[in-house]
Structure 1
Amino acid sequence: METNNKQAELNNTNRKPNKKLAIMAIASIPLIMTLGNSMLIPLLPLMEKELDISKFQSSLIITVYSIVSIFLIPVAGFLSDKYGRKIVIIPSLILTGIGGIICGWAGWQLDSAFTWIIIGRIFQGIGASGAFPIVLPLVGDICKEEAEASASLGIIETSNTFGKVLSPILGSLIAGIIWFMPFFAIPVLSLLSLLLIVFFVKKPKGDNHELSFGRFTKNIKVIFKQHWRWLTAVFIIGAILMFVLFGLLFYLSSILEDKYHYDGVKKGFLLAIPLAALCAASFIAGKVIKDNLTRMKWITFFGIVLTGISIGATLFSEKFIYLIVVFLVCGIGIGAALPCLDSILTQSIEKEMRGTITSIFSSMRFLGVAAGPPVIALLMKGKILDMIILLGVLSVIGAWLSFKAIKPEEKKQATKVKPVLE
């Protein structure tokens, strides 16, 4: 008996490092997907010169990636619920790498490269739609204990935000060699993530996927019929937070260059300051919330309130240091809220439908990413007050939804659904 106990303890000890390696491997996906998109943003003016294109055309290099992802993410979520997480993630990473190769080859070899770069970015968008959104349910499948899942999701959000911190700096440095080199960095990073997933992420026990499309549609109706209030609130809050984040990043990037005359790597480091605060807040929030849904609600609420207050604070001064501090505080608010939303979903949805529901959430986040910069660009042509009012109103809506619609004191576990074929 004693020998058996020792063997069991040894097995548990061996599993823990393996699970840590699996989480680190999974965390490479949001890091790489974020780098693949965000590190191109500070390079757009350079691409306009090299490709002889307009500002609108250069914006399509970013926008087409997000638009493709918005529509395909729910499809990827269903496929992951039907066939399994790794079966969807692996080809998606391959597609992302192919997209980067197409973009880099076009920039290197073609005189009129813009069309082929857009095609390559479409491939990357398809790949992103099948990789990053599947990360959340995969963590939920691997981490059976809710506290462990929350901490792991905090690591995932930290990896995502660290990609945002690193991207403007890394993009500027690589483009300093040759302008199209950041495109070739994407397949290298995708291959690295692919190898980590293949070797360190194992299929969880009991991970059987048999979901038919008929049962899928019925399950969606059942879940939304009983839990539409808090699910809709989480989806809308996710879209609002990403809209505010990317809208403010666009605004900060513009004024750093136009008003304070910072560009290149210097601008990248300055943009990284609020994103670093967001990264740290996500990591700490993931550690603090554990499996406490009430704590998740209130951290989300106060995080959004802090975001709204910091937006309003931009009215009081235009001094450089003041604005950097204000945006840093805003990053803390958004960073604290995001892992809470992830954990609320993964802890409240049955495994059989978790991929689909979290993919809808990811799609809403991408909608905020795609809409933020162009809307803020239009508002910046008029009075800055209009921009602040819009972002402030959105923050109020987000805080109100988190306060009224997310109610941990009620039984919030989604109804169990049948994944069998019919």
Structure 2
Amino acid sequence: MAAVPWDSAALYLILASSLIGVMGVSLISPILPELRTAFDISDSQVGLVITVYTLPGVFLTPFVGLLADRIGRRRVIIPLLMIFGIGGAGIAFTENFAQVLVLRFLQGVGAAALVTLAMTLIGDFYDGTQQNAVMGLNSSTIGTGAAMYPLIGGALAGIRWNAPFLFYGIGILVGLVAVAFLPEPDGREASDVRTYLAGLRDVAVDPKALAVFSAIFVVFFVFYGAVQTALPLLLNDEFALSPAEIGLLLAMVSIASAAISSQYGRISEWRSAPELIALGFVAYGCSLLGVWIAPSPIAVGGSLLAFGVGFGLVMPSIDTAIITAVSGRLRAGMMGVRTSVLRLGQTLGPVSFTYLAEEGFATPTRGYRLLLVLCGVVILLVGASAYPILRSGS
């Protein structure tokens, strides 16, 4: 990575912002079972810990970029970092579950567009070969963080259940460093609000865009509902795993995803983006069915590697499909709506899985198992039936 500007203070702040942007759920997924005991709450209430965090992004994300265009990147990203850190770290000192939810919502406001703004700053500060190198470094950093956070969260929970929340306070530190060292990019052109909203409207009725949005929603609905929320609760109930052990298993998804994503350039020469999305769905389905029949935690970890393979195929393919599906005039609107739909899946998945498992079955454990197999079968059938159709049409 010779083109990476290692002497640039902005580079490290961009990477730190991206890392913080993907920290919110993966860091605490291993400790979700511990929250049941700490606050004497049900599984469906545990799901709210993720839902209230992702909810603000559904509405805020499409417009944060527009705000940053008009008032400046620094004036947006620094407050977001501070809000994230204050909201997250404050949970460590809460006395009841209602306070947890309020602070998680506040933290979600801060997290709503950190990754999006980090990518925007890359475009502002760098160009050409340097920009491509920094984009690649940023993606690699996000993948590494996503793999490490479950391990870190599980290890910190070994100290006390609230220790992982204190780790969120790093957002405050990064915000303070940004005050001193993050410059305001030059040459910004403020977006016209009417034009931007018209672009969003056009995207909303574009058939290709709707297909991409549907895939995004399903991916994150299942990932956050089944893998990030239901699975930790199931592993604790069935195998009595500690937060550290749960974190190790969840890290399998990110490890496999990072490995596949790193080879996406070669893989994309073999099949088109829509075909790879279908194959990714096949991998998701096989993974969930594997988790369902897994007789041991080790087998669960092996099955989660397949989910990571699917994730590594689907996400770069979705972004490629977004770039190629519509004209440049609609691309900014597509990216904004993409992130909003992603957040919607993240928001509905956890509360849906925990509520259905708790209310629809004799025990939540039995519910999680049936929901895993149902999702696995449906997603596998969708991917397996779509692939030959897409293949014959290419």
After TM superposition, is the score higher than 0.5?
Answer: yes
| Structure 2 partner of 1:207 | 188
Report Cα offsets for 1:258-314 as digits up to 9, x if no partner: 2223223122212222332123223332x5479x89754444343333333434455
1:273 counterpart letter in structure 2: M
Deviation at 1:367, TM superposition (A): 1.9
Secondary structure at the aligned position of 2:22 is classed as helix
Matched, 1:254 2:233: yes
1:158, 1:382 → 2: CA distance? 36
Letter of the 2:353 partner, please give it: I
- Matching residue of 1:29: 17
Q: CA deviation at 1:126?
A: 0.8
- Mark the runs of 5 or more structure 1 residues left unpaired by the alignment: 1-12, 410-422
Q: Distance in 2 between matches of 1:320 and 1:57?
A: 25
Question: Are 1:119 and 2:102 counterparts?
Answer: yes
TM-score between the two structures when normalised by the length of structure 2? 0.79
Letter paired with 1:233? A
CA–CA separation in structure 2 for the residues paired with 1:127 and 1:181: 20
Q: Does 1:172 align with 2:160?
A: no
Distance 1:146 1:400 in 2: 40
In structure 1, distance between residues paired with 2:117 and 2:387: 24
Deviation at 1:334, TM superposition (A): 0.9
Q: Is it true that 1:241 corresponds to 2:228 in the alignment?
A: no
Contact 2:13 2:174 in 1 (8 A): no
Displacement, 1:69?
2.1
Question: Quick one: structure 1 residues 61 and 381, their matched pair in 2 at CA, closer, same or farther if it must change by over 3 Å?
Answer: same
Q: Secondary structure at the match of 1:36?
A: coil
| Aligned counterparts, 1:134-145, within 5 A | 134-140=117-123, 144=127
| Segment drifting more, 54-63 vs 193-202 | 193-202
Kept in 1, the 8 Å contact 2:27–2:149? The answer is yes
1:90 to 59, 65, 78: 78
The CA distance in 2 between the partners of 1:349 and 1:135, in whole Å, is 24
- Between the aligned partners of 2:245 and 2:292, the Cα distance in structure 1 is 25
Greater mean deviation of Cα atoms: 293-302 or 252-261 = 293-302
Deviation for aligned residue 1:329: 1.5
The equivalences for 1:333-348 within 5 A come to 333-345=310-322
Is residue 38 of structure 1 aligned with residue 33 of structure 2?
no
**8 Å CA contact 2:292, 2:369 repeated in 1:** no
| Pick aligned residue for 1:271 from 250, 268, 280 | 250
- Residues 26, 197 of structure 1: 8 Å contact kept: no
Partner of 1:129: 112
Residue 37 of structure 1 aligns to a residue in which SS? Answer: coil
Match of 1:358 in 2: 335
One-letter code aligned to 1:237: A
Q: How does 1:55-204 map to 2 (within 5 A)?
A: 55-104=43-92, 106-107=93-94, 112-140=95-123, 144=127, 149=132, 155-192=137-174, 195=177, 199=181, 203=185
The corresponding residue for 1:330 is 307
Question: How far apart in 1 are the matches of 2:69 and 2:390?
Answer: 27
Kept in 1: contact 2:283–2:310 (CA 8 A): yes
Q: Deviations over 1:165-215 (max 9, x none)?
A: 222221232233343333232122442266369736762x64312x23222
Change (3 A) 1:46 1:238: same
**CA–CA separation in structure 2 for the residues paired with 1:155 and 1:297:** 26
Q: Please, what is the CA RMSD of the aligned residues?
A: 4.0
Q: Identical aligned pairs, as a percentage?
A: 26
Say if 2:216 and 2:338, in contact at 8 Å, map to a contact too.
yes
Give the 3 Å change call, closer, same or farther, for CA 336–198 of structure 1 in structure 2: farther
Whole-Å separation in 1 of the counterparts to 2:305 and 2:380 = 16
| Distance in 1 between residues matched to 2:43 and 2:72, nearest whole Å | 41
What is the CA–CA distance in structure 2 between the aligned matches of 1:257 and 1:328, rounded to whole Å? 20
Indicate how the Cα distance of structure 1 residues 157 and 57 shifts in structure 2: closer, same or farther if over 3 A, else same.
Answer: same
Q: Which residue of 2 aligns with 1:280?
A: 259
| 3-state SS of paired residue (1:259) | helix
Secondary structure in 2 matching 1:358: helix
Report the structure number with the largest CA radius of gyration. Answer: 1
- SS across alignment from 1:38: coil
The letter for the 1-side match of 2:189 is N
164-173 or 307-316: which moved more?
A: 307-316
Q: Distance in 2 between matches of 1:65 and 1:214?
A: 29
Give the superposition deviation at 1:326: 2.1
Whether the 8 Å CA contact 2:82–2:172 is kept in 1: the answer is yes
Q: In the comparison of the two structures, how many residue pairs are matched?
A: 384
Q: TM-score, normalised by structure 1?
A: 0.74
Over 3 Å counting, the alpha-carbon distance change for 1:382 and 1:94 in structure 2 is closer
- 2:369 is equivalent to residue 387 of structure 1: no
- Aligned pairs for 1:296-315 (under 5 A) are 296-313=273-290
Moved over 6 A (4+): 347-353, 398-406
1:254: how far off? Answer: 3.3
The letter of the residue matching 1:214 is R
What SS does the corresponding residue of 2:188 show, helix, strand or coil?
Answer: coil
Structure 2: give runs of 5+ residues left out of the alignment: 358-364
